[in-house]
Amino acid sequence: MAKISDFHGNGFFDWQFSTQGHLDAWNNRHYDEEKYWGDFPRDPLPADYKLPHWAIGPFEKHEGNPVFAPDPNSWDCGHFGGGVHNGAIIIKNGVYHYIYRGELPLPDKYKSNPDIDYIDDIGLAISADGISWKREAGPFFRHGEDEKYDFSDVSMATYNGKYYMFINRWDWSCFHDPKYNGVFLAVSDDLYHWEKRGLVFPDAKRIHRNASILQNPKNEAVRVNGKFVLFINDRIIAFSDDMEHWESDEMEAFPGGECAFSVCDYDADHPDNVVLFTGGHHTGHFYAKGEVLLDKNDIKKPVAWLPRPVLYSEPQHPWENGYSADGKIPVSYWRDTVFVTHMTLHEGKWLAYYGGSEYYTCLATAPYTHKPIL
């Protein structure tokens, strides 16, 4: 585990509270039960409440969190409100590969929107134990004519020996235009070299973002009724024959906000179960992780959802509430915020590398309690 001093140097960056807006946002964005409850039931849970059989959890946070942080001397140096987070975890040949979103201040020549002061790209870090990380490669995509774009929020699965990465691409000069913004696909043989395939929905009439590719616990893409499946924000679902050409459709409503991670084939006793992890406003938390149950036989219609999140910020963890790891310095206005975009199953545990305050990467684990599909 990296030491706090390794994360911050002297603890301050040049961008610290660089505007009054940063300070105002830090003061105002925090736990607000009424504002951020969402569409969840308000009835108190019984004292003996347990997760239903279909759910994944409970999650336990690693005692050494956070495990990864922005580096002032690297491309992913961070900025106020963003660092290294929202990545995918792939374990290959016994080595943990973390393909993550790294943030940096927006270069002056791309400052077209006064409310956006950052830009993202994707990098790779590796680890022997999943705790201590070494930056290995990246940034991958902001090169040449693509330098102006922001690339963020990783979902990944394997298919036919290749890695398929679904990320968001943004042009901050026209970020409402779906011709230039939304789900972007890149493909790799080795996690180091990526071939850009472009926007997945170039003809979309509204933004398609935060795609989650349906996969099994081994992170292999799974077909449902002959089609691969993407869950996308705004209750959009998409289907494909080949992982590259997709057609989107609408889902029925469910609470829980943004799409995060989706998994199936995790329970031999219930082979049609699909779990979609969601983020966003959840029972008073600004960003927390909930779960929705779906069925392969009618995948557009939610069956059930958890009444409370399985992963959420807690006051004793300052790195989930906008502070530095030592609890002394405000580093992000994303208070009361955790977010997961990918998970994997390894040695009998689910591994969820989640973003704390959109700034750090943290680790949470959950026991694998279901009957495996062999």
Q: What is the pLDDT of residues 2-18, one digit of tens each?
A: 333 333 333 334 444 45
Answer yes or no: is pLDDT of 313 > 80. yes
Q: Could you tell me the pLDDT band of residue 27, with boundaries at 50, 70 and 90?
A: confident
Per DSSP, the three-state class of 162 is strand
Which carries the bigger pLDDT value, residue 371 or residue 330?
371
Q: What is the mean pLDDT of residues 301-311?
A: 97
Cβ contacts of 237-240, under 8 Å, gap ≥ 24: 237/299, 237/300, 238/200, 238/201, 238/208, 238/211
Q: What is the pLDDT of residues 121-169, one digit of tens each?
A: 999 999 999 999 999 999 999 999 999 999 999 999 999 999 999 999 9
In the beta sheet, which residues pair with residue 81?
none
Q: Residue 98: which of 146, 136, 144 has the closest Cα? A: 136
Q: What is the pLDDT of residues 278-301, one digit of tens each?
A: 998 999 999 999 999 999 999 999
Q: What is the mean pLDDT of residues 170-182?
A: 94
Q: So what's the pLDDT on residue 18? A: 53
Mean pLDDT of the chain: 92
Question: d(Cα 98, Cα 90) in Å, to the nearest integer?
Answer: 6
Q: Residue 260: which of 295, 211, 299 has the closest Cα? A: 211
Give all domains of the chain, ordered by start, each with its CATH number. Answer: 4-367 (2.115.10.20)
Termini Cα distance of the chain? 34
Q: Could you tell me the pLDDT band of residue 329, with boundaries at 50, 70 and 90?
A: confident
Q: What letter represents residue 194's amino acid?
A: W
Question: d(Cα 51, Cα 78) in Å, to the nearest integer?
Answer: 37
Q: What is the pLDDT of residues 152-163, one digit of tens each?
A: 999 999 999 999
Task: Write the DSSP symbol of residue 39.
Answer: T
Which residue blocks in 122-206 are alpha helix, DSSP H?
none
